[in-house]
Amino acid sequence: MGLSQHQMELMKQLARGGGRKAGTRPLLNKKVGDYVLNPLEAANSLGAYSPGFNEVAANLFGLNQAVQDRQIAAFNNRTGPFPKAIGYQLTPDVFYKRQIKMAPDRSIASPIEFVTFKNVPMMDWDTPDINFHPDSSVTVRNLGDVEDILRGYIQQDPTAALMLYQTPGGYRAFELGKTGNPVDDFKLYQSLNVDPNYIDMNRMAFDIGQETDEAGFRARISGKPGRKDDYVAQPIAAFKGKEAVVNPRSRKVIGTIHDEPIRRAFMNADGVNPAAVETVKAQMQTASKPLQQEIIRRLGL
């Protein structure tokens, strides 16, 4: 499906915040157009699965973004209430929202982009970080801990196919070999030592204006306010069981909504972020030799 000239202009406006000039929003991580994901472009890319995020929906989203812009400016100038989140169901299996978060020092509010995947399982593990992670979220200490969890998982389920990412504060992994449900499968994620607060959040639904962000696997795709050199998620390794077959829809959704937008915003031409490399290097000694070799190959170390 092609895009009209008007749709292309809407895409540019949505990416930079409802028609405002790029660079005018209070963001720490500057990206092309200030936002990592363009919702109209993403919905168009996902094709026939889109329920209708078209010009009409894009116009409405753009209007809501303009309202959010004003709310952010007023709040940061101490003349208005805390801004409301905006969101839209891009496809039956993907929800996208721009939510406002405060920096750790409470100095400024900035938008953060989140996506909810209805049935592509994501696992999240936090490592100790006094500034960003409560103790209740910390379930692993290093890369070696996560490797042990994933190797045990694929040994028990040979159909599993996982992609592991280094994040500034830990690790995340997508299960691309099968679909899942955070409500029905929460005991599985508990057994994998996933962040318990993340498990609980995924089982909840949230009202975002006239939209509902239903239970699903949630992922942040833009930088956290106050976190220096936030690269969000650097892919580092794949874990596959002997009978693994990647689900084409899962691969398409994660590539379109997560991997490619993050790569464009935070990675170099080789798909690598220098800050991520330093984080990985500090953890390498805790991993097995085969995993170290894969990481070296993927990141060009």
Q: What is the phi/psi pair of residue 262, to 5°?
A: -65, -40
Q: What is the DSSP string of 286-300?
A: GS-HHHHHHHHHHHT
Pairing of strands 217-220, 109-117: antiparallel
The string over 258-274, giving b where at least 16 C-beta atoms fall within 10 Å of a residue's C-beta and e elsewhere, is bbbbbbebbbeeebbbe
E-strand stretches of 176-222: 206-208, 211-213, 217-220
What distance in Å separates the CA atoms of residue 280 and residue 76, rounded to the nearest whole number? 35
Residue 146: CB atoms within 10 Å: 29
pTM of the model as a whole = 0.85
Report the number of distinct structural domains present in the chain: 1
Q: What is the length of the chain?
A: 301
At residue 62, the pLDDT reads: 80
At residue 53, the pLDDT reads: 65
Q: For 30-58, what is each residue's pLDDT tens digit?
A: 343 478 998 888 888 887 555 566 677 77
Q: For 2-13, what is each residue's pLDDT tens digit?
A: 445 554 555 555
What distance in Å separates the CA atoms of residue 268 and residue 271, rounded to the nearest whole number? 5
Please give the residue range of the domain that contains residue 201. 5-299
At residue 26, the pLDDT reads: 31
Tokens standing for residue 238: 């794949």
H/E stretch holding 67 reads: helix 55-76
Tokens standing for residue 115: 């996506």
Ranges of residues in the chain whose predicted pLDDT is under 70: 1-33, 48-54, 130-135
